[in-house]
Amino acid sequence: YRGTCKNCERDNMLKWRHNRIKYDREYGLKNKEKRKMQNMEYYLKNKEKINNRNNLWYFNNKEKISDRVKLYKDTHSEELVDYSLKSKFGLSLNDYNVILKNQNYRCSICNKHQDDSKLKLSVDHCHFTKKIRGLLCTNCNLTLGLVHEDINTLIGMVVYLEKNKVIEIGPEGYIQINK
């Protein structure tokens, strides 16, 4: 009786595994639709089991997932901002920076400098034409959104403020003076 040596046995096993992987890959490419249907059938039969397994894995690895997401965001922040700007406004990060520079790094409405805010200036755009109007600080952008970009409402706000001016009087409080 003649057996195979451990090295030959290991080599044969590696060759078999390599050939099997190659065969599976080729089979998968040739039978893409069939495999897709088989996978869908398996999923539908075992949906609850698969979801439970995935939920358990997620529950046991929350910290690991959180660390990966944070690392990805830290190492790809410019790419993520660029992707977000392109998908929302059709604007590249370079285009955003050009607009920012042209506005002297200030809000188009209140003239507040970007460095005076924790957040970057927001892209303001017309919701009908999708045309970009400029960059605004968070307060100005939210205000426009809250009044639904209605000019009459904004004029009404200005008239109201002009009519009801308030003068500060030290720590005691405020005095209202009507025109």
43-53 pLDDT, tens digit each:
999 999 999 99
**Does pTM top 0.85 for this prediction?**
no
For helices 32-45 and 6-30, give the axis angle rounded to 10 degrees. 100
- Higher per-residue confidence, 16 vs 66: 66
Whether 179 has a pLDDT exceeding 70, the answer reads: no
Whether 10 has a pLDDT exceeding 90, the answer reads: no
CA R_g for the chain: 31
User: In whole angstroms, what is the distance from residue 145 CA to residue 139 CA?
Assistant: 10
- Higher per-residue confidence, 29 vs 97: 97
State how beta strands 122-125 and 132-136 pair. antiparallel
SS3 (DSSP) at 5? coil
Residue 175 pLDDT grade (very low, low, confident, very high; cuts 50, 70, 90): low
SS3 content of the chain, % helix, strand, coil (to 5): 65, 15, 20
User: In whole angstroms, what is the distance from residue 6 CA to residue 10 CA?
Assistant: 6
